[in-house]
Structure formats: C-alpha cells, structure tokens
Structure 1
Amino acid sequence: MKTSIRILKVFGIPIELDISFLLLIIFIYVLAFFNIIPLQLAILITLVFATVVIHELSHSYVAQKYGVEIKKIVLLPIGGVAQMSEVPKKPRQELFISLAGPLTNVIIAIILYLTYQFTLTLLPGFISNFILEFMLVNVVLAVFNLIPAFPMDGGRVLRAILAERMDYLRATEISVSIGKIFAVIMAVAGIFVNFFLILIALFIYIGADQEYKSTIVSSLLKGMLVENIMTTEVKTLDPHITIEEALNKIFEYKHMGYPVIEDQKLVGIVTFQDLSQSKYNKNSMIREVMTEDIITVSPHEEVISALEKLNKNNLGRLPVVEENRLTGIVSKTDILKVLNLMRNKVQ
C-alpha cells in the first residue's frame, strides 16, 4: 500500500510527502487557526521541513555525481529520508555526500544572517526576529546532524574518516559503538533535562544498530553470486493441472510456493495461499489462479541484490531465470544460512 504522495521532481529525484507528514502539517495549522499556537510558529515549522528537503537534496545531488541512484526523497514527521540504491564504499565519496547536508544548512544560516543584518532597520521587528529564528534553526540542524552517531550525517563522516585508515566493516563497528555511547548519554541526560532527548536517543540507538547489521550483511555477501547459493533442483507445476492436483503436490512436497513451467519456460508462480483462498472450484486449472507478474533474479546477480528484492516485495523466495528459463530458486532461508556460515568463518 502506497503511503506517500509525490509532489514534484528535482534533479530527476521524486520528492514525496508521507501521509503522516500531511496529517501533521494539517494538525499544526488547525492549532494555529484556533490560536492554540502562533501562526508564526506554524510557518517556521513548515520552513524547517522545506529546509530538510533542501538538506536531503544536497546529499542526493552529490551522490548522483558519484553515480549513486537516488530512488526518492520522502518527507516524514521526523525529517527527510533520501532512499539511495547503495551507500558508496569509497570513504572520500561517503565523506563528501555526508557533509553536503550540514554544509547546506550552514550556507542557508549565513544567507539568513546577512539578510537579517541588512534588513534589520528596514523590516518590522517581528519579521527580523523570524529571520533570526530561522537562521538559528539551520545552525541547530547543522550541528545536530554532525553528531558522530548513525543515522546522522556525523556518523557517516566519522566512518569515512576511519575507513581511510582501516577496514570498512571495522570502521562501521567503531562508528556504531560511538553512536550508541552518545545515545546512552543523551538518554540519561533526557531523564534530568527533557524527555524528548530520550526519544532522540532511542532513534539514534536503533539507527546505529540497523546500520551495523546492514553493513555486516553487505560486507559478508559482497561479490557472492546467486548461482553460488541457489537450489537447482526445483519442484515445478504445469499450468494445466487442477487446483486439487496442485494442492496434493503441495502436501507431498511440503513447499508453500511453486514456479509454473510451460514448454520449459517460466509462466507464473502459484502459492498455497493462491490455491486455498481461490474463488475457483477444485477442478479449475492453476493457470487461472497463478501470478503472472513474476519478480525474478538472474543467476549472475549478486546475492545482496536478491535479498533486497525479497525484502522490498515481502517474498520468501525468488525464481532464478536466465533467458526466460528457470535455472533455480533462491530463498531468504538460503541467504540466511550462507550469512550464518560466513559469520562463523569470520569469527
């Protein structure tokens, strides 16, 4: 289910607003309409989110210069997220991409400060104060994002610096550990200062942990091809057998999903759920209930690419296809087994 709305494209990058963000903005302006909060504050919050988009666009623009595909930028109540196809493994590239966002906030703050100085005697006091507040917000955003903890830009800057001197995985481990220490300190401070700091600390801790797990997976699977781990002996079904016959096969083979093959070509996928929840009778052919819109993977693709497809589409297995012919099948279980073996080997 799509939960975001596209509003425009910049540098060829779709910018989308999450539904929760739209509800937040509506809620803020409802509060302003009933004078619960000042209208000036509502406008300032809106401009902050606009700045967040510019911040993410600066990351994305630099990333594109290094050949990284940016799928989209989504604006959430907690900020903006640029969805990159990959994180550059060259430390210098990651450094420049990470610094682009905070640097943009610094530039905006400088422009606002100069505007404040030049218009101080020309504009009404409330407008000058508004400009000053907006400048301070950008300074805070720049400083906050440079905290050396994932998922902030500072965590990536730190990793990039460390990765110039050591293994990428080791650099990630150190950066993540420092990020978690920051999170714990912030959470303790939040008990005595502001409860909101505890929420930020939780966000940092979870983000750091996810970054570490993601890096371990990509590092261990780097260079490994699907053909190296796929199952080549695949149970398949003919599109002309009935639903009843297909269910008997499922109970016999004890698999929950099967490629459907006709004339040695993959024509569909059918699962136990398709068959058991079918509106057709048991004598209908499985051709009538199978899924023809198939997500596949090539045997020459990297395993990490297959894992991304599995997670993105919430699938348990992928047919491995070459020239429209089924050559094997790869499952999330296969990949997890390989990961466990690789981890034990590293340890």
Structure 2
Amino acid sequence: MKNVKYSLKLFTVFGIPIELHVSFLILMLFIYAVAALNLFPGINLLLAVLITLVFVTVVIHELSHSYVAQRYGVKIERIVLLPIGGVSAMEEIPKDPGQEFRIAVAGPATNFVIAGVCYILVFLGASHLSGTLQDAIYYFALVNLILGGFNMLPAFPMDGGRVLRAYLAGRMSYVRATRLAANIGKQLAIIMAIVGVFYNIFLILIAVFIYIGAEQEYRTIMVSTLLEGITVGNVMTRDVQTVTPETPISEVLNLMFQKKHMGYPVVENGNLVGILTFHDVSGVVPDRRSEAVRLFMTRDIISTYPEEPVADALERLNKKQIGRLPVLSEGVLVGIISKTDILRAVEVMNLKIGE
C-alpha cells in the first residue's frame, strides 16, 4: 500500500493526504458518461451520485479509523480511494487489545451514525422533501447500514475480525489470537465463496480478498512478534565471503554455484564499496564474464547495523525488494543478513514457543 502509484492528491484531513487513484477516476467518469448518455436504463444520474456518495462515505470510514489510530501514536501515511474502496496506509496497529478495539469499531460506528442521521432527516423532512430526494437519502442510509454491518463480520482482517482479535488477545497470546481470528476469517471466506457461486459472483471476489488478507496478516504478525527483541547481530552471518572490484564475473558465478549465496559484498582496501547480486550478473553475456566486478556491482549500498531490530531490517528488505543487507559497525563490514537468515530465525523461535 505504501507504494500505490498513479494516485492524485485531493486534499488533507487531520494531516492525512486523501488521494484519488486514477482507476477510480476513470470508473467514475465512465459511470457519469453512461448516465448522461443514457446508455443503460438502470444507470441514471441519481445512481451515479449515490455511487459517488458511497465512496465518500468509505473515505469518512477510513478517516475514522485513522483519527483514532493517530490518537494512539500510529502514523498514517495516506488514504487512497480505489474502486474497491478506501485504503489507509498506516503503521502497524497497536497490540494493546483496547486500542485495537477502538480503532476497529471507529469506522463501522461512523457508518451507523451517518445512517441514523439520514433516517432522521427523512423522518423530519417527509413533508418537505421531494420523493426523489427522500429515496436518495433513504438508500444512502441503507448503504451505510450495509457497509457498517458487513465490516463488522468477524472475518479477519475486516473490522469485525480485528474486534474479535482484540477480544481474544485479552485472553491469550497475541500470536494465538491472530491465528484464531485469521482461521475464523478464512472459514467465513470459504462459506461466502460457496454462497457466491449460487447467488452473486461478487461475493467470491470478496471471499478471495478476505482469505488472502487473513493469511497475510497472520504471517506478518507472527513474524513481527516472534522477532521481537531480536537484533540483526543475533541473526546475521558473520563469516562473510567477499569479492574485490577486480574479481572476474566468471569467478563470482563459480562462487554462487559453490556457496549457494546469491549476493556478495565488494570490498576494496578494507572498505565496502558495493555489492554484487545474481540479479546484477544474470544479464552479463558470456563474452563479458572475464570483465571485473566493478563494472556491474551496485554502488548504492543499503546497509544495516548489529543493534538494529531484525524486524526493521526485514521491513527494509521487503520495501526495497532486495534479498540481503551488509551489516556495518563503525563503517566496517562485520556480517551480512538475508531473508533466508531471518526466516530461519522465525522457524527456530516458532519451535521454541510451541506455535
């Protein structure tokens, strides 16, 4: 989510940029064009306005989550409006059950409040509002009730699933609570998909989203929890095989074959000057494999240090889409850490706690 591209900033609320994804802009232009040209009898201008208001409501829903999360110190990068709804780019939700509960219920509660206000408007203005406007407000209220109710289904990682995890986390470990909530979410997703086969294919798409989201959320939480308190120095490989800038590419390829490592720090006179990975050498044609590493190595070095939490190093690896980080202490190369090293540590910790 942090790398969502092709979005346009609309405005800022609570210090949070609200962005419109180009795909959503195209969708709305298409809907309004169809309504204006009367291409399909079922799509008129009123329906187009209602669809727009629904997505506005989704933004308000996400802002409610974000506002409460900010109160607990969670940084919100942005909210992006997509055709599938609003998505908040925020840091990890607090592991305090009470805080997670309040953040999770804020969105659906906002939907219910909007629905209530709309019904009051319809009731109080029944004799003053036109039939078309009454219908619009009524259906808008109904949509908010559906959105709020649907989001409260105990299907992790939806809001109701997070409420369920918050409840469970007060009675068991956070990892176990996440696993149980995720399993319930996946089971509901399977049921939803089966129902969708007979009634509505859209339910199948939602079910896929819930199933994948539940699994990814569980894995993310499990890794971050198991790695808590572990530093890069605890996990890194200390016996580092290095190459020099003048090492031929053919020699590095032999090293990769023998050592089974896909990246090597490039050291000159004791200083780290680059890193050479399989990606760097994979495009080198056979005729150039006698040439030196310095012609192909990556000079923009992304590194870590022994005292850094290994969870932060893993986040950087994922964000930069790289496989390993050289470990520097006072400018000196003291080790290297890869995703494989981190995943191995996760497996060991998982066995230790009996998860």
TM (norm. structure 1) is: 0.88
Q: State, as a whole percentage, how many aligned pairs show the same letter.
A: 55
Contact 2:232 2:313 in 1 (8 A): yes
**Post-superposition offset of 1:244:** 6.2
Contact 2:8 2:22 in 1 (8 A): no
2:204 corresponds in structure 1 to 198
**Range with bigger deviation, 169-178 or 274-283:** 274-283
Contact 2:306 2:327 in 1 (8 A): yes
Aligned residue for 2:236, secondary structure, equals coil
1:3 corresponds in structure 2 to 5
Alignment partners' CA distance in 1, 2:277 and 2:157: 38
Alignment partners' CA distance in 2, 1:115 and 1:299: 61
Alignment partners' CA distance in 2, 1:252 and 1:162: 48
The aligned amino acid for 2:338 is S
Aligned residue for 1:15, secondary structure, equals strand
Contact 2:156 2:184 in 1 (8 A): no
Instruction: Tell whether 2:30 aligns with 1:27.
Output: yes
**Post-superposition offset of 1:248:** 6.4
Runs of at least 5 residues in structure 2 that lack an aligned partner in the other structure:
none
Contact 1:4 1:74 in 2 (8 A): no
Alignment partners' CA distance in 1, 2:236 and 2:310: 9
Alignment partners' CA distance in 1, 2:343 and 2:280: 26
**Post-superposition offset of 1:298:** 2.6
Q: 1:2 to 1:64 in 2, by over 3 A?
A: closer
Alignment partners' CA distance in 1, 2:278 and 2:193: 47
Instruction: Tell whether 2:300 aligns with 1:298.
Output: no
Aligned length: 347
Kindly report the root-mean-square deviation, in angstroms, between the aligned alpha carbons of the 2 structures: 2.7
Aligned with 2:345 (options 316, 338, 341): 338
Contact 2:157 2:182 in 1 (8 A): no
Aligned with 1:80 (options 86, 107, 110): 86
**Post-superposition offset of 1:284:** 6.5
Runs of at least 5 residues in structure 1 that lack an aligned partner in the other structure:
none
Q: 1:2 to 1:260 in 2, by over 3 A?
A: farther
**Range with bigger deviation, 171-180 or 130-139:** 171-180
Superposition pairs for residues 150-161 of structure 1, below 5 Å? 150-161=156-167
1:175 corresponds in structure 2 to 181
Superposition pairs for residues 1-347 of structure 1, below 5 Å? 3-7=5-9, 8-35=11-38, 36=40, 37-239=43-245, 255-277=261-283, 286-347=293-354
Contact 2:303 2:325 in 1 (8 A): yes
Q: 1:269 to 1:135 in 2, by over 3 A?
A: same
Q: 1:268 to 1:15 in 2, by over 3 A?
A: farther
**Post-superposition offset of 1:221:** 1.6
